[in-house]
Amino acid sequence: MAPGRNLEALGKNTEDPPEPAGESPGREVRVTPVELRRVLGSPEAVSVLRWLAARRRHRIATAGTDGEPDVVERFTYCEPVDAEELRAEISDPRLQALVDCGAAVVIDGWAVALLSLRYLRGVAIAYPQAQRPDGNEVYLGTGGFWLMQLAFRYGSPGDTAADLATGTGLVAVALSARYDRVVAVDLLPEAVRTARLTLDINASQITSTGAAVMDVAAGLRDGVFDLVVANPPWVPDAIGTDGENQTVYAAGGPTGMELPARFIEEAGRLLAPGGTAIILVLDGTWDDGRRPLDEQCDLLRDRGFEIVDVVPAPPAVWGEAATKRLTEYAPNCTAGSVVALVFRRPC
Ligand SMILES: C[S@@+](CC[C@H](N)C(=O)[O-])C[C@H]1O[C@@H](n2cnc3c(N)ncnc32)[C@H](O)[C@@H]1O
């Protein structure tokens, strides 16, 4: 991820401090991107990841998050660890299952995981630590965590929820604690694979979850969802700086509202009577007087939806640095910040 290309910092809000892949004092190991297709194709490896997630959850429940990470935890943060020490803790077959599908490597007596396990408020996220910098990276950042909190605050009761533009599947997992059926969708196959893995290692006994590749919500049924959430790409094109193209997870269109507007429209189509949608967007004011968010709210009202709230993002999602970058790279935008648009289809 090139610094400065996007507005949000990555991975700053996990309970475990994210560590750089493959580095420890005096030791550097080159890692290659993990192939999630191979990991998902190995029931043994998925079961080891589930076991590691459960182990970590148990340790947090019994000892909290303050203590020094042990060898297993350091391994799940993608630090190189002594392979023998690790085997003694997790067993040789477990380590071998990860190595066989390319989720870990053992070199010169060092074991390195290529898939990190992050933990966020009880949710374990399987995150491809090393990714090809080709614009199709899987996103993990503060927006998802905020969306998770908003879903609990505003989510209508019911049994069916959709997480559009799911990324790692983090929010979908959180929703599975409340809704009986949860679908997680994304345009990027690698994001959907990450979400599948994340849903799998947090598997609930009672919720039916699924993840699929689709453009916005194409293929999901009209009028059956009690809750629809999305943190779509909302970064204005001008922020893709230095002639570089933006990443798929960030590029929201010229004002940053063009792509989110499609999510807003589709979310409205999916909602059941009484259902609620929560969509994160950039609320920008442009020097020609346009306020794309106001235009979207007017369109929603015209279609009979109720605007429940427009919630300003907390500093972890939209801070001073983001405002500075917006005014620097998009000078036609006179003001802007991220908000959550919450709207409801009347019963
Ligand atoms: C900012 S990330 C949010 C990921 C996740 N919801 C979270 O908050 O952690 C935006 C996501 O939108 C996805 N995306 C981009 N264009 C899309 C489209 N046309 N349809 C569906 N998903 C899309 C990206 O692949 C990325 O996963």
Instruction: Tell me what the mean pLDDT of segment 318-327 comes to.
Output: 90
- Choice from 166, 257, 281 to test ligand 1 binding pocket (greatest atom count within 8 A of CB): 166
- Choice from 8, 121, 182, 188 to test ligand 1 binding pocket (greatest atom count within 8 A of CB): 188
DSSP letter at 10 equals B
Same domain, 124 and 152: no
Question: Is any ligand 1 atom within 6 A of the Cβ of residue 202?
Answer: no
Same domain, 104 and 208: no
Measured between alpha carbons, how far is 193 from 200 in angstroms, rounded to an integer? 10
Question: How many domains, the chain?
Answer: 2
Distance 150 CA to ligand 1 centre (A): 17
Q: By the 8 A CB rule, do 129 and 78 touch?
A: yes
Same domain, 115 and 148: no
* Number of other CB atoms surrounding residue 203 within 10 Å: 13
Q: What is the CA radius of gyration of the chain?
A: 21
Give me the CATH number covering residue 229.
3.40.50.150
Same domain, 168 and 36: no
Domain of residue 284, residue span: 142-344
Same domain, 221 and 295: yes
3-class state of residue 36 by DSSP = helix
Which amino acid, residue 26? Answer: G
Both tokens assigned to 238: 């001008």
Same domain, 249 and 146: yes
Measured between alpha carbons, how far is 180 from 165 in angstroms, rounded to an integer? 20
Measured between alpha carbons, how far is 7 from 12 in angstroms, rounded to an integer? 13
Who's near 108: CB < 8 A, 6+ residues apart?
none
Who's near 315: CB < 8 A, 6+ residues apart?
none
Distance 164 CA to ligand 1 centre (A): 7
Mean pLDDT lowest among 28-32, 48-52, 256-260: 28-32
User: DSSP for 286-301?
Assistant: ETTS--HHHHHHHHHH
Distance 196 CA to ligand 1 centre (A): 15
| Span 51-98, pLDDT tens digits | 999 998 888 888 777 778 999 999 999 999 999 999 999 999 999 999
Question: Is any ligand 1 atom within 6 A of the Cβ of residue 191?
Answer: yes
Which amino acid, residue 25? Answer: P
Both tokens assigned to 166: 């799911």
Question: Is any ligand 1 atom within 6 A of the Cβ of residue 231?
Answer: yes
| Span 121-152, pLDDT tens digits | 888 999 998 888 889 999 999 999 999 999 99
Question: Is residue 223 a part of any domain in this protein?
Answer: yes
- Choice from 134, 168, 186 to test ligand 1 binding pocket (greatest atom count within 8 A of CB): 186
pTM here is 0.90
Question: Is residue 34 a part of any domain in this protein?
Answer: yes
Question: Is residue 16 a part of any domain in this protein?
Answer: no
Question: Is any ligand 1 atom within 6 A of the Cβ of residue 232?
Answer: yes
Same domain, 108 and 153: no
In terms of Cβ atoms closer than 10 Å to its own Cβ (0-12, 13-18, 19+), residue 299 is middle
Same domain, 153 and 104: no
Gap between the terminal Cα atoms of the chain: 44
Who's near 156: CB < 8 A, 6+ residues apart?
226, 227, 274, 275, 276, 344
The residue whose CA is least distant from atom 2 of ligand 1 is 249
Question: Is any ligand 1 atom within 6 A of the Cβ of residue 186?
Answer: yes
Both tokens assigned to 21: 């892949």
For residue 331, is pLDDT > 90?
Answer: no
Length of the chain: 347
pLDDT of residue 16: 44
Point out which residues pair with 336 in neighbouring strands. 284
Instruction: Tell me what the mean pLDDT of segment 22-41 comes to.
Output: 74
